[in-house]
Each structure stands twice: as C-alpha cells, then as structure tokens.
Amino acid sequence: MNRQIFATSFLLFLTLFQSVSAQKNYESGFVIINQRDTLRGFIDYKNWSKNPEKINFKTILEADVVTTYGTDDISGFQVHGENYIKATVDRDASPSGDESLSYSNIAVITKITAFLLVEYSGSKRFYYLKDAESKEQIYIGNGPDHFELLDNYRYRVEDGSKSGIISRNRYKNQLKAFFQDCPSLNKSFANLRYSPSDIESLFKTYYSKCSSEESEISYVQEKIIVEAGVLVGLTRTKPDFKGYLGGITDVDYSASNNLTAGGFLNFVIPRTRKRFSIYNELIYNSYTAKVHSAQNYYPQDVILDYSYVNLKNMFRYKIPVGEFSLFFNIGISNGVAIRERTFIGDTRKYEQGLLAGIGGAYKRFSFELRHENSNGMSVYKNFQSTIKRNYLIVAYRLK
C-alpha cells in the first residue's frame, strides 16, 4: 500500500510536470525587424536554459496565428525583462569537459550567428551565450557593433608519466585592458571566475565608480527567493507492526489525533517562473496509541506515547491559477524522539520517512493535505514498525 501511494504520487508529479512544460506561456514583448522596426505583441517565454534559436510570436494574445522567428528573420527581441540581439560572433567550439579536453594549445574557433543575451548595455557592453552544447560564451564590447569573445580555453598536457590541465585564463587580461580606465578594478581580476555573476560585478563597479554615464542594466539575474512562515495543523497517526513480539501483531492499534506546529523555509529556485522550490519544515508532532491486550504477561493496556521534532525536506511544484495557486510536494522526513513510552525493549530515537502532499495557496495563506510513511521505532528485524500519518496543515507566510 505504501509503495502504491508513493508510486502514484511520483507518477502524478511527472504527469503535471510534462503537462505544464508543454503549455505555452505568452508574455508581453516585442521583436525588432531590420534593426529599426519594432513589432509589439506576445512571445512564448520558455525560461530558456540555453539561448533560444527561434521564438514563437503573436500580435494578439487570443489569436491562433503564431509566427516563428529566427536569426534570419529578426534583429532581436525582448520578453520577461530579457533582451536578446542577433550577432555574428566567434564561438569557442573546443571540448570543455575534463575527460574530453584537447592536447592542442590552440582553441577551435568558429563563426556563428546567434541571439545574445544583453547583460549590460552602454559605452561598455556585456553579452552572454549558452550555446547548443551548453557551453558558456561571454562577450564584451565597446559600442553596439563590437563583440569580443572572452578566452577561457583549457587543454590537457602530458610530461612523461605526469598529466594535467592548463587553463589559459586569457579573459582576465582581456578584461584588464577593457577596464584600464578604472583603477577601482585593479584588484578584482586575480580571483575572477569565468562566470556571468563575477563579470557582472566588474560592470557594476565600473559604472558606479569610473563612469559618468548612467549604467544600463539590460538583464538582472534572478536570485533564490527565501520565504519564511509558521504553520499549524492536525495529524492522524496510526502505528502498524509486522512480525512477532509476544502476540502484539494480533491486535489493532488505535489512531491518534493530535496537533502539530512549526515553521518553514521555502527556497524558490531561480529561472523557474517561481514554480519550483525546495520547501523545508521544522515541526513538532506527537501521538498516543492504545490497545487492549489479553496476554497475561502484558499489562491490560499497551500504550505507545511518542513526541517528535521533525525536519521535512520537500520538492515543491506550484501551478498558478490567477491569484490562487496549486502545489504538489514530495520529499523525506527525519524525526528525533524527544519523549517516548513504549512496550518495546530496544527502540531507535531517529525516524525516517517518505511523504507526499497536495495543497493550495492564496496570498500569504496556504493549506495542504499530506500523507507520510515512516519506519517508526522498532529496531527488531522480526518485528518491523511503520507509522502512517495524515496531515491537514494551514500555513502563513511571514515574508
């Protein structure tokens, strides 16, 4: 039964994910035709992990007519705060994985035409490309028609029985020359990584300390959003045992209804349209289960009385529906017993479980129905414990 519940939950999650991934998400935007004519409408925004090669465009949101544009058709486009321009640039096509690096000290450079993401525009510009092979290419430029590829070529060397990898790191010298009129950056290059966030910090310093020109930030990288709050709820807990321990498996244990309370931290993953998050709870829960035993060598009432502090870690997927949203959780639970009363001789204090839940949220409030299966307290192989919990939870987001 437990396997069926979690298998069904996992299949439901995959179905929801595939269904929503296939949906269109048209947002207000525009395309640039012939480098000067702007056509406003709606672009199917796909939260691209790689720079898009083509986009779908509508002039009217409700219309069925969709036009597909590529680099042969438009000079650029803007949607969801992301500005892309068409450019013919150098691309480092050399292998980048450690196991596939070349032994040549000369990079393989090819010419491509692509939509570059504009990170900074102005007198000094910064562009980003994640190509079809998922390799990052970063460009700088003085003015709108200048695109210089930052060189981060890596290659393998061998010396007898020794081998290693050399990182040329030429991009640091390129950036030093590019920002030579900004002394405030002189100490910024030694530990500079080949990453959009590190290079973005150079542009931020340049425009704030070394340029009279007001910076033009074309793209702001999304960061992790942290949400915190409190929760209360009801639990219905039912212990179950399989095996033999003095005939205890021959009786039916009562379910226990109790209160639960705690707090949560939800880490919303960037570039997922706020749909994916890592949801974490620290809560208190308890249960008291009784059974009447007819065995002479047991007391008349056999009682399980436990209190736990639980840390629950879940993967959450949210589906917005207007101001309301639906969500689905699946994850793990780790609990420590802080109080116990039991008929079992040896017990474990540490409880592990799997859980799945579904709920909804409106503004700062949310509610959830959740099921959890854990391994309970028994350490005996011939007397295995399972604790089944159902939750009804109401949460309030503080921030």
381 burial level (CB within 10 Å; 0-12, 13-18, 19+): exposed
Q: How many CB atoms neighbour CB 98 within 10 A? A: 9
What pLDDT, on a 0 to 100 scale, did the predictor assign at position 346?
74
Q: What pLDDT, on a 0 to 100 scale, did the predictor assign at position 22?
A: 46
CA 399 to mean position of chain CA atoms: 19
Q: What is the pLDDT of residue 232?
A: 98
Which pLDDT score, from 0 to 100, does residue 397 have? Answer: 96
pTM of the complete model: 0.69
Q: What is the Cα–Cα distance from 16 to 273, expressed in whole angstroms?
A: 15
pLDDT at 327 (0 to 100): 96
Hey, what are 281's tokens?
């709870």
3 state SS of 264: strand
Is the CB of residue 353 less than 8 Å from the CB of residue 387? Answer: yes
Report d(CA 241, CA 344) in Å as an integer.
Answer: 11
Contact (Cβ atoms closer than 8 angstroms) between residue 63 and residue 44: no
Q: List domains and CATH numbers for the chain.
A: 81-217 (no CATH), 223-397 (2.40.160.20)
- Quote the distance between the C-alpha of residue 346 and its chain's center: 41
Print pLDDT tens along the chain (399 aa).
445 555 555 555 555 555 444 457 899 999 998 777 899 999 999 889 899 999 999 999 888 899 999 999 999 999 998 999 999 999 999 988 888 888 888 999 999 999 999 999 888 999 999 998 999 999 999 988 899 999 999 999 988 777 888 888 899 999 999 999 999 998 899 899 999 999 999 999 999 899 888 766 667 777 899 999 999 999 999 988 777 766 565 556 789 999 999 999 999 998 788 899 999 999 999 998 877 665 555 455 677 888 999 999 999 999 988 789 999 999 999 999 999 887 666 778 899 999 999 999 999 999 999 999 999 887 777 777 889 999 999 999 998
In angstroms, the CA 29 to CA 55 distance is 11
Contact 270, 295 (CB under 8 A): no
Would you say 136 and 160 are in contact if contact means Cβ atoms under 8 Å apart? no
Q: Whole-angstrom Cα distance, residue 193 to residue 215?
A: 22
